[in-house]
Structure formats: structure tokens, C-alpha cells
Structure 1
Amino acid sequence: MLDIALLRKDLDSVIARLETRKTPQPFLDADAFQALENERKTLQIRTEELQARRNQLSKQIGMLKGKGEDTSAVMAEVAGIGDAQKAGAERLTQIQAALDQMLMSVPNLPQADVPVGSDESANVEVRRWGTPRHFDFEARDHVDLGAALGLDFETGAKLSGSRFSFMKGPAARLHRALAQFMLDVQTQEHGYTECYTPYLVQARALQGTGQLPKFEQDLFHVTSGDGEAAGSKWYLIPTSEVTLTNAVADSVLPMDQLPIKLTAHSPCFRSEAGSAGRDTRGLIRQHQFDKVEMVQIVHPEQSNAALEEMTGHAETILQKLGLPYRVLLLSTGDMGFGSTKTYDLEVWVPAQNTYREISSCSNCEAFQARRMQTRFKNAQGKNEFVHTLNGSGLAVGRTLVAVLENFQNADGSITVPEVLHPYLKGVDRLVA
């Protein structure tokens, strides 16, 4: 959520920055906001005037009582002022709730160095690592390669419908090995604390990280039937960013606890609303997939440095695996809702002859913290909002795709990257 003081101070500037995300900006009804703000100011002035009059009358009552004179008329006026104050307070509460609800659907403001553009075409390539492999045979895609190794889309569809997969044998072992390898690197080399979190959360957690209310159509939810939680509604997490970040919701953290670095391997559930016809073949876009997530809770002065660091942590996984990739700085029109600056990592996918997203690392500054009410005690002893960051370290299924395709052999076997050998008990080649 944006700082409402910023909108009150310079609404035109906020609108201009939002218009770099989408023009004309559809996020904030400036007229409605201004109308509520004007009413709020009027009510506050009126409240102060009523209180001053009440104070004046209270003194007058004391003087009248001291003289033994009738106070009934003055008391009646005081009572009327009390009723007016109560009505004004109730209306101010309603206005504040309306303003808060309005801001819940407004995205974060891009940082000044984010390239301006309406979509991914304005993204800027920052760097590349590795050289895509030249094959002396016709490269196959992961669907064909994986079929002989236990990557089974037919069984997934039979069980759950389209955009689900079922893995067994070598494919399942490789998938598990990748997740374990990622967790080990992030915890042992990069200082993250491994977590295991719920896969079902209440609406408030998703409001805290920004998925609700704006993106409810992208979420799966379940409703309890029986027991003490009958009728309760839970959402399946779209990423463990939700649970890791909300672990510090409603907290005032000691400054010496910062930064907090958390990681978790979890399934992610997404309805993929609006993606009809996109990536219908294979693992690239699934309703259920696994991801190793990174989250950092940091001092505001450190968040930009933390973003560079986190992006490097994701890159390390790709480098250790030997997978070619590139880093993109996303444009204002391609960034996520809660982000103020985002780097995407795209891995080389030979069968598609292109780079595909495998990680997204974002600085949300105080946007999520303000929604979650997560603060820290600064050096002056005052409460200040933390900054939050999140990133994939990495998406496990897409990494599986990249390993299968980049390390395939002419006979359909897969050469296992050396860093994965310990996780596969020394196996250096996957064969049917």
C-alpha cells in the first residue's frame, strides 16, 4: 500500500508515476480520492471547532454552577455537540476505511531508474552468462525427453485436468534433487534460514503481500465443511513469498534483527487466469509447481543493495548448474503489482531457441510492510516500516526443463550437472 501522506502531499506526482505503469492509469480514481480527502479535512476542522466550543461551554458551566445559576441550556448544547462529535467520528472512520480500500488496489510506484514502457518490449537486458550450446543433432524438448524418464502429463491430466503433471522414477528424483540443491545453496552459502510453511492461508496474508483484493481470480481457494473451522475460507498459496513475508506481520522488530533472510521450498498454486492458449505444452505454465523462494526483511537504506544481492543468489544456482541465462531489468509496465524494481532471470531453453523466465527478484520497499503493519525500532527509537524483498531461487519445474533440454544427449539420456551428483547418489547420467 502506498503512503497516503504522499498522495495528500503531491497527488499529481503520484498519478504521473502510476501512468508510467499504464496510460491512462486505471488504478486510482483521483476525483474520488480528492472528494474523500476534502470531506475528511472539513470534518477534522469541524471536529476541532466543536471541541473548542465544548471546552468553552464546560468552563461556562463551571462558572454558572459557582454562581448557582441554571445550566440546563448550556448542558443541552454540550449534549448536542457530543452527538455531532460522535457522528463526525463515525464518518471519519468510514472515510478512512474507504481510502484504505481504494489504496489496496493501487500498485507500487516504480523507482526512478526503472525503464518506462507499457510491456515486456521495454525491458532492458542487463547482462548474460554462459553460451547456449550448439547441438550436432536435432534437440528435443523436455516433453519428449521427459516421457522416457517418468515425466507424465497424461496421468497428471487424468487425475486433475490440464496444466498438471505426474512424475516418477528419474524425473521425480531429478526434481527432488534440484529443490534440495537450491535449498542447500541458499541456506549454507547465502545465509537464509530454511522454513516450512502452511500451504493454505487466510485472506489477510494475501492482502499483506498484495495478491488480494486485486488478483483473486488468479488464486485457488477451499472452504472447510465440518468441524470447528466449518465455513472458513482458505487460499492455496501462489508462492511461499506469502507465508515467509507474513511471518513478520503485525510486528515491531528490533533493528539489530535486520536483515531477516528466509527461504522455503513449497508447491505453488495458480489458476493462470488470462493465460488461455499460452504454454499449454509441458512444464512452463502449470496450475501446481514447486519453487524455492527467497525473502528478505531489511532496513530501508539497504533494500536496493539487498535486491542486487538476492538477484546474485538466484544467479548462483544457474551458474553452478551450468545453465546459460540473461538478466533483465523490467519496465514499469511489466513489473509486478507490489514491486518498485524487478530483475527477471531468463534461462536458455534450446527447444524454443529463446530465453524463458526462471526467477523474478523484486524490491517492494515499504509497500507490503505498510499493508502488514511490519515495522522496526529505528536508531531514534521511533517505529519505521521495514522494506521487503522476494525472489525465486529458483522455480524447480522450469529448472528441470532447462536441465533436460540443455544437457540432453543424442540417445535421449541426460547428463547430470556435477553439482547434482551428491543428490542422486553419484548418478551422472539419467537414462530410461
Structure 2
Amino acid sequence: MFDIRWIRENADAFDRALAKRGYEASAARLIALDDSRRSHITKLQEAQERRNAASKEIGKAKGSGDDARAQELIDEVAKIKAFIQAGEEEERKLVADLEAAMAVIPNLPLDDVPVGEDEDDNVRLKTHGEKPVFQFNEAPREHYELGEKLGGMDFATAARQSGSRFVILKGQIARLERALGQFMIDLHTQEHGYTEVSPPLLVHGDPLYGTGQLPKFGEDLFKTTTDHYLIPTAEVPLTNLVSGEILAEDQLPLRVTALTYCFRSEAGSAGRDTRGMLRQHQFQKCELVSITRPEESLDELERMLGCAEKVLQKLGLHYRVMTLCTGDMGFGARKTYDIEVWLPGQDAYREISSCSVCGDFQARRMNARYRPADSKQTVHVHTLNGSGIAVGRALIAVVENYQNGDGTITVPEVLRPYMGGLEKIG
């Protein structure tokens, strides 16, 4: 969400920034909507002033015995009252029209974000580690081949029970998924200073509006018959912890994390990644959320990226970090880093984490503020979110990168304490 006053004062800059994201110029349309709202409010104020004045004149007319004039004024006041009542409803509609128009406009990219149309225009920031060298001659297998042969991934039964894009994990593969999630949450709480939260998995529409999933991306959500939504990411309940709040400055930065199931309809992904676990309707993710002062948010983005990278480094996985271009960024982001892990079975890099700074975009939608220690005025906080990391894709990466020629999977050393000391899945 944006400050319409800022748009008025920076209309050209606003439209140029939207153009970088492939959106049409919108400043004139938004200003026109705001002009209508302002004009109507002025009429209401003038009517209220006349009503107050007429009410005083009624008393004077009655005091002077001019009953006819008093009745004229009484009739005038009644008409003004009716006009104001109808006008207040119209004002709410005009405010709603302006907010609805702004609610579907994406956040503005930072100046250093590369301009581009899609993932082909993303820019590689850095690479960590080396691709694994296997001690067998045949091509590395994909995770679903290995998982099915080990009896640890059952896609057929899951499809009968729930449809496509689901999987049933069994035995040591299921335990490996649990170990990965526990390892991530322990790392972020014990070494990176995040506070663990266990949030609801069902939310109303307001929190989704606050983080930008609604109204524009409603088709990507699972909605229940009770007007709840299954969370697409723990970013939603975690960021909304400060919705409507005025924080003290010494509460910032606020860093929280959660390991939850997430649910996405994958409405725009028909035909993509239909084999295996890469794109599921239900998956686990360790989410990182930071709430900061405006001047701290860019440094916090780098810090958050480092926290997510540390997960892959400790797992011994090769990856690269990409700076997303303007056309590939998420709706609420001003700048995003994607971490792409190497999957030898696919012979490709695949996204495993995204870390984004949103500025005050979400805070304005949620009305989340803080009060600087030396000021009576409140300021909107800045919000950041990142995956620390996607558990299902981490499972895929471990299975493919630690596969052996005999079809077994070596357990990374950092996960063995969570696996009861198990060194190999076979």
C-alpha cells in the first residue's frame, strides 16, 4: 500500500518505478480518485458548517418570535442532515475505491534492482561450494526415483487420497524431513537470534491483505467453508504479529521464525514440475520474519540472506544467490535475493529460499508502526521475510546430492544427531 500524498508529490517517479515492473502508469488515475474523495469531503465539511450555523439561527429566530423563519431553518437543517448521512456513505465508498485501486499495485523496486522481464534477467550475486562429484558412472537419479525405490516416497497413494501434488513420506525419509525442519529451527533460534513462534495455520482475510496475498492473489489460496484461509506461508501470521500495533523503538529489530506447513493451490503452475516433490500443494517451510526501523532494513536483508545461506552451508550443499529482476520479484518486495540449490538429478539450480525487503509496503496495509524514542510521532516499520529454508526442497537436495551408486542416501553429518546417529538411509 502507498501513501497517496507521496504519490501526489512524486507522480513521475511513481510511474517510472511501476514501468520497471511492467505495470502501466497509475499516478494520474489514483490522484483523480483522491481528488474525488477530497472534493466530496469538502462538500461534507461545508454542509456541516452550514448545519451548525443554521442550528444557532433557529434559536435566535425562536427568541425573536419569528416562528416562520425558525421553521424554514428547521427544514433546512433536516435536509442538510439527510445530505450528510448519504454523503458519509458516499465518502466510505470513495475511500474504498481508492484503497482497492492501490491494493493491487505492486511495491516499487529499489534503485539497484536489475530491470528485466522474468527469471532469465536475474543477476547472479555469488556462488558457494562446488557441484558434487559422484563415485559411480551412471547419471545421478532424481529424488523421486531414489525415494520410491527406497520405499520412502509414495506418490500413487497420496494421489488416490488427495489428488496430484501430494506425497506420503515413510520411514527414514519421513524422519529425514523431520530432522531437516528441526535442524533449521534450532539453528535460527540458537545461533541467529530468532524467537520461535507456533502460529495458526488458518487465518482470516485481513492478515492476507496485510501481507499482500489478497486481493490480487486469491486464486493461489485455499479457502475453507468458514471463511478462513490456509496459510500459503508463515510470513502471513508472523508479519501480522505487529498488525495495528505501535511498538517502542527498543523492541526493534523484532526477529521471529516458525516451522509450519504451508498450502498453495499452484494455480499458475499447470504442467510445471508435476513429477516429484518440487511443487506441492502442502509443504513445510522454516520462515524468517524481521520487523525493523526504516534505516536498518537493507542491512537486515543481508543478515537474513546470511542466515538462510548458513543452512545450506552446514548441509554441505552447492548453491548460488541471485538478485531478482523487477519482473520476477514478488508483489510486496522492493528487493529480493533467491538462493538456488544445485540438484544433480535435474542437472539444474532450483530455488530453495527467497529473502525480501518490503519497506513500509506491508506495514501501511497492516497499520504497523513504532514510536522513535525522541519523538511523539509514529513511523511505519519496515518488514522483511525469507525462507530459512523450504524443508521439502532441502529434502530433495539432500537426497540427490548425497545419493550413492547403490541407491542409498548418506545422511549429512549435521543431521545425524536428529536421526539417532544414522549415517545412511538404505
TM range (shorter): over 0.9
In terms of mean alpha carbon deviation, does 212-221 or 129-138 score higher? 129-138
What's the counterpart of residue 5 of structure 2? 5
The offset of 1:362, in angstroms, is 0.8
Residue aligning to 1:18: 18
Give % identity. Answer: 54
Task: Return the match for 2:260 from 260, 266, 271.
Answer: 266
Deviation at 1:83, TM superposition (A): 3.6
Q: Distance in 2 between matches of 1:272 and 1:74?
A: 63
How many angstroms does 1:148 deviate by? 3.1
TM-score of the pair, normalised by structure 1: 0.92
Q: What residue identity is the alignment partner of 2:11? A: L
SS of 1:337's equivalent?
Answer: coil
Distance 2:64 2:271 in 1: 86
Matching residue of 1:97: 96
Matching residue of 1:209: 211
Structure 2 portions without partners, runs of 5+: none
Task: Look up the SS of the partner of 2:127 in the other structure.
Answer: strand
Cα RMSD for the two superposed structures: 2.0
Q: Mean alpha-carbon deviation: is it higher for 289-298 or for 148-157?
A: 148-157
Counterparts of 1:66-145 in structure 2 under 5 Å? 69=66, 71-72=69-70, 73-136=72-135, 137-138=137-138, 139-145=140-146
Looking at structure 2, the residues matched to 203 and 55 of structure 1 have their Cα atoms a distance apart, in angstroms, of 41
Deviations 1:199-253 (A, max 9, x none): 1111112111111111111111221xxxxxxxx2211111111111112222122
Gaps of 5+ in 1: 224-231
Change (3 A) 1:81 1:342: same
Counterparts of 1:305 and 1:293 in 2: how far apart (Å)?
18
Offset, 1:49:
3.5
CA distance in 2, matches of 1:383, 1:91: 30
1:249 aligns with 2:250: no
The offset of 1:75, in angstroms, is: 4.4
Distance across 1 between alignment mates of 2:48 and 2:113: 48
The equivalent residue for 1:47 is 44
| In 1, Cα distance between equivalents of 2:50 and 2:198 | 58
Distance 1:242 1:411 in 2: 43
CA distance in 2 between counterparts of 1:34 and 1:373 reads 22
CA distance in 2, matches of 1:23, 1:236: 29
- Displacement after TM superposition at 1:159 (Å): 1.7
Any conservation in 1 of the 2:4–2:31 contact (CA below 8 Å)? no
User: Which residue identity lines up with residue 7 of structure 1 in the other structure?
Assistant: I
User: How many angstroms does 1:32 deviate by?
Assistant: 4.6
Partner Cα separation in structure 1 for residue 93 and residue 65 of structure 2: 43
Say which SS state the counterpart of residue 233 (structure 1) adopts. Answer: coil
Residue equivalent to 2:300: 306
Q: Which amino acid aligns with 2:238?
A: L
- Tell me the number of residue pairs that the alignment of Structure 1 and Structure 2 aligns: 420
Q: Within 2, Cα distance between the matches of 1:314 and 1:145?
A: 26
Secondary structure, counterpart of 2:132 in structure 1: coil
Q: Does 1:427 align with 2:422?
A: yes
Residues 22-421 of structure 1: pairs in structure 2 closer than 5 A = 22-24=22-24, 28=26, 32-54=29-51, 56-57=53-54, 60=57, 69=66, 71-72=69-70, 73-136=72-135, 137-138=137-138, 139-149=140-150, 150-223=152-225, 232-379=226-373, 380-421=375-416
Q: Return 11-20 or 119-128, whichever deviates more.
A: 11-20
Q: How far apart are residue 67 of structure 1 and its match?
A: 5.2
